[in-house]
């Protein structure tokens, strides 16, 4: 880290100011929020580990997805149901170890916040970070619109859209843009960041739809999502897609050069990868 | 960039990450720390104030059609309060059950089920959202609580309606570890007490309430979660505060860490 932005090396390595301060701050606050929201969300899910579609849904109604402990062959098993399929997920989902003993719980303790099962506490964490996420997200969106970061850096241009297949192939070949081309977000990056903005907005909207108080303010939102239980299912699917984004995002950071990438999100300065010699 | 600014910035970044790391690492301890619960209470207050700012006092919860009613209305919590007294009420079809209204009222009342059924009623098809995540839709018929409170006449200082129930859910310790009284109770403020959909319900889906769903009377507060919908109602106490009732947080589940404002 030391020395890269000092004068002597700058003649050898070309670095430029890639991420402005508001992007860096809101990025890290957002990352912390997502971590706590996912962990506490899984703990909340464990209180009723079943998902439905429609206005209502409880034990007597058929579930789309469930994680349950089932007594079978004289022993307990964790069974995860996805539509018509059932999977034995003993040890991971439905029936897993907590402090040395097997317990019936949807998601295992090492994935949830708090690690012990407590709906009240999980809700407290969830709402604390949900508010922080909303304020941080509004600050980011407000700044991004005002500074034209959203319009210039994130929104894909017509050329970006045409270049998506090419960009996809490059990503799969682990080829990353170099030189001048690395100064802007590449087409897939733009699409991915735009998707994550949409997904987080969808998380907030479906989250609010689960609130009976908010539903009285905004009843049309329930109908937009096809019911409260549908909204809960969409909330879960969006969260899963955010996890998918995070996995790919982190993999790309590692593949593109973790030190350079992480540093650029801390200090703003990004060292341009050299063009390969032809 | 000067070296001094670099060091300050580096220190700020490190401090930020150390703080975040400590927060993640200590999440379990913080959850159980009574001083940290002040942060959670502040968030709850903020949520309540935000929703109350957006909600008109009389704004209705969504009402559904008969076709939307759940085939099974899931009971939760107490399925049968049990005990000789309640068993006798079941045997007598609740003819001797009384709903008492007292506390900060000018005319304390005691009403039988037949007297309540004789009063003007409201029927509504609404969605019941359990804090656990599931929902059930049912058709409720009952007397508007506001009507009863107007008849009883609120005395000065009245701020909350506290609902005392016949069921005891002992077993789960009060937050902080000590075993508290397990008698179910709930409380709402006057905004919700006088809301047109707030009912003392006696019918579910056109039939007298079954024992698992709260026979003979249960509360409906449609803009809040399921644990507010107290079952087996015996007494409504109008108070200026619920600090001196049971655990002091305004409800059985509230005493066990859940939010008093259950609009979310």
pLDDT for residue B182: 85
| ipTM above threshold 0.85 | yes
- Using CA atoms, how far residue A105 sits from A91, A93, A115, A227, B135, in Å, is 10, 7, 11, 26, 21
Locate the domains of chain A by residue range: 7-48+108-271, 50-106
With CA atoms as reference, report the closest residue to A122 among B171, B135, B258, B250. B258
Stretch (H or E) spanning B13: helix B3-25
Instruction: List the structure tokens of B154.
Output: 């609120």
Instruction: List the structure tokens of A196.
Output: 């994550």
The Cα of A174 is separated from the nearest Cα of chain B by a number of Å equal to 30
The superfamily CATH assigns to domain A7-48+108-271 is: Transmembrane di-heme cytochromes, Chain C (1.20.950.20)
Residues of chain B positioned with their CB less than 8 A from the CB of A113 = 27
Q: Please give chain A's pLDDT, 278 residues, in tens.
A: 344 444 444 445 678 899 999 999 999 999 999 999 999 999 999 999 999 999 999 999 999 999 999 998 888 999 999 999 999 999 999 999 999 999 999 999 999 999 999 999 999 999 999 999 999 999 999 999 999 999 999 999 999 999 999 999 999 998 888 888 888 999 999 999 999 999 999 999 999 999 999 999 999 999 999 999 999 999 999 999 999 999 999 999 999 999 999 999 999 999 988 766 54
Cα–Cα dist B144/A175, whole Å: 68
- Check CB contact under 8 Å for B44 and A127: yes
The Cα of A260 is separated from the nearest Cα of chain B by a number of Å equal to 16
- Surface-to-core class of residue A99, CB atoms within 10 Å of its CB (0-12 exposed, 13-18 middle, 19+ buried): exposed
pLDDT for residue A168: 92
What is the mean pLDDT of the segment spanning B243-251? 92
pLDDT in tens, B153-199: 999 999 999 999 999 887 565 555 454 578 999 999 999 999 999 99
Check: CB of residue B184 under 8 Å from CB of residue B230. yes
**DSSP designation for B119:** S
Find the residue in B nearest to A36 (Cα). B24
Residues of chain A positioned with their CB less than 8 A from the CB of B177 = none
- Check CB contact under 8 Å for B44 and A210: no
Per-residue pLDDT band for B4 (boundaries 50, 70, 90) equals: confident
Q: Which residues, including other chains, have CB under 8 Å from residue B33's CB and lie 6 or more apart?
A: none
Token pair 């843009």 in the structure block, residue: A177
The Cα of B60 is separated from the nearest Cα of chain A by a number of Å equal to 6
pLDDT for residue B18: 94
Chain Cα centroid distance, residue B18: 39
Interface test with B, best of A58, A116, A133 (most B CBs within 10 A): A58
Q: Is B9 helix (H, G, I), strand (E, B) or coil?
A: helix
Domains observed in chain B: 61-256 (3.90.420.10)
- Check CB contact under 8 Å for A113 and B136: no
pLDDT for residue A2: 41
pLDDT for residue A120: 96
Per-residue pLDDT band for B112 (boundaries 50, 70, 90) equals: very high
Residues of chain B positioned with their CB less than 8 A from the CB of A229 = 134-135
Cα–Cα dist B246/B238, whole Å: 15
pLDDT for residue A74: 84
- Check CB contact under 8 Å for B134 and A116: no
pLDDT for residue B171: 58
- Residue burial A231-243, b: 16+ Cβ < 10 Å; e: rest: bbbbbbbbbebbe
Residues of chain B positioned with their CB less than 8 A from the CB of A123 = 131, 258-259
Cα–Cα dist B211/B248, whole Å: 28
pTM of the model: 0.93
| Cross-chain CB nearest to B62 (options A57, A222, A229) | A222
The DSSP secondary structure of A145-197, one letter per residue, reads HHTTHIIIIISPPHHHHHTHHHHHHHHHTT----GGGGGS--HHHHHHHHHHH
Cα–Cα dist B81/B212, whole Å: 9
Cis check for the bond before B3: say yes or no (omega within 30 of 0): no
The Cα of B39 is separated from the nearest Cα of chain A by a number of Å equal to 8
Question: Phi and psi of B21, rounded to 5°?
Answer: -60, -45
Handedness of CA B118, B124, B130, B136 (dihedral sign): positive
Question: Phi and psi of A175, rounded to 5°?
Answer: -95, 125
| Cross-chain CB nearest to A47 (options B44, B133, B223) | B133
pLDDT for residue A9: 43
């Amino acid at each position: 880290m030391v020395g890269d932005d000092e004068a002597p090396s700058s003649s050898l390595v070309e670095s430029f100011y890639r991420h402005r301060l508001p992007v860096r701050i809101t990025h890290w606050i957002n990352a912390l929020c997502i971590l706590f929201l996912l962990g506490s969300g899984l703990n909340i899910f464990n209180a009723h580990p079943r998902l439905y579609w429609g206005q209502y849904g409880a034990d007597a109604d058929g579930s789309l997805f469930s994680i349950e402990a089932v007594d079978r062959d004289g022993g307990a098993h964790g069974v995860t149901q996805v539509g018509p399929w059932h999977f034995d997920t003993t040890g991971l989902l439905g029936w897993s170890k907590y402090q040395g003993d097997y317990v019936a719980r949807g998601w295992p303790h090492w994935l949830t916040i708090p690690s012990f099962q407590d709906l009240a506490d999980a809700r407290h964490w969830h709402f604390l970070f949900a508010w922080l996420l909303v304020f941080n997200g509004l600050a980011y969106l407000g700044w991004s619109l005002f500074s034209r970061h959203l319009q210039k850096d994130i929104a894909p241009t017509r050329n970006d859209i045409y270049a998506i297949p090419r960009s996809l192939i490059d990503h799969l070949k682990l080829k990353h843009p170099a030189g001048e081309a690395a100064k802007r977000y590449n087409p897939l990056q733009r699409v991915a960041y735009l998707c994550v903005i949409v997904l987080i907005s969808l998380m907030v909207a479906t989250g609010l739809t689960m609130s009976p108080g908010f539903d009285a303010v905004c009843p049309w939102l329930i109908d937009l999502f096809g019911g409260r239980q549908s909204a809960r299912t969409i909330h879960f699917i969006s969260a899963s897609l955010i996890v998918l984004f995070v996995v790919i995002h982190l993999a790309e950071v590692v593949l593109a050069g973790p030190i350079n990438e992480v540093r650029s999100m801390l200090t703003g300065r990004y060292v341009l990868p050299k063009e390969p010699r032809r | 960039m000067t070296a001094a600014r670099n060091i300050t910035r580096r220190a700020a970044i490190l401090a930020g990450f150390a703080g975040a790391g400590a927060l993640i690492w200590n999440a379990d301890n913080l959850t159980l720390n009574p001083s940290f619960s002040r942060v959670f209470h502040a968030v709850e207050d903020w949520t309540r104030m935000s929703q109350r700012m957006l909600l008109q006092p009389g704004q209705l919860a969504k009402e559904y059609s008969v076709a939307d009613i759940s085939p099974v209305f899931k009971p939760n919590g107490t399925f049968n309060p049990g005990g000789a007294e309640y068993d006798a009420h079941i045997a007598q079809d609740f003819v001797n059950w009384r709903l008492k209204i007292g506390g900060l009222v000018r005319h304390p009342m005691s009403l039988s089920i037949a007297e309540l059924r004789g009063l003007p009623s409201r029927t509504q098809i609404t969605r019941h959202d359990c804090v656990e995540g599931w929902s059930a839709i049912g058709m409720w018929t009952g007397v508007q609580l506001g009507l009863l409170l107007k008849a009883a006449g609120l005395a000065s200082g009245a701020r909350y309606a506290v609902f005392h129930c016949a069921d005891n859910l002992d077993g789960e310790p009060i937050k902080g570890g000590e075993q508290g009284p397990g008698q179910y109770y709930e409380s709402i403020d006057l905004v919700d007490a006088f809301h047109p959909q707030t009912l003392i319900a006696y019918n579910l889906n056109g039939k007298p309430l079954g024992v698992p769903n709260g026979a003979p009377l249960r509360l409906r507060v449609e803009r809040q979660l399921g644990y507010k919908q107290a079952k087996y109602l015996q007494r409504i106490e109008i108070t200026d505060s619920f600090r001196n009732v049971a655990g002091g947080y305004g409800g059985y589940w509230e005493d066990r860490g859940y939010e008093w404002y259950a609009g979310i």
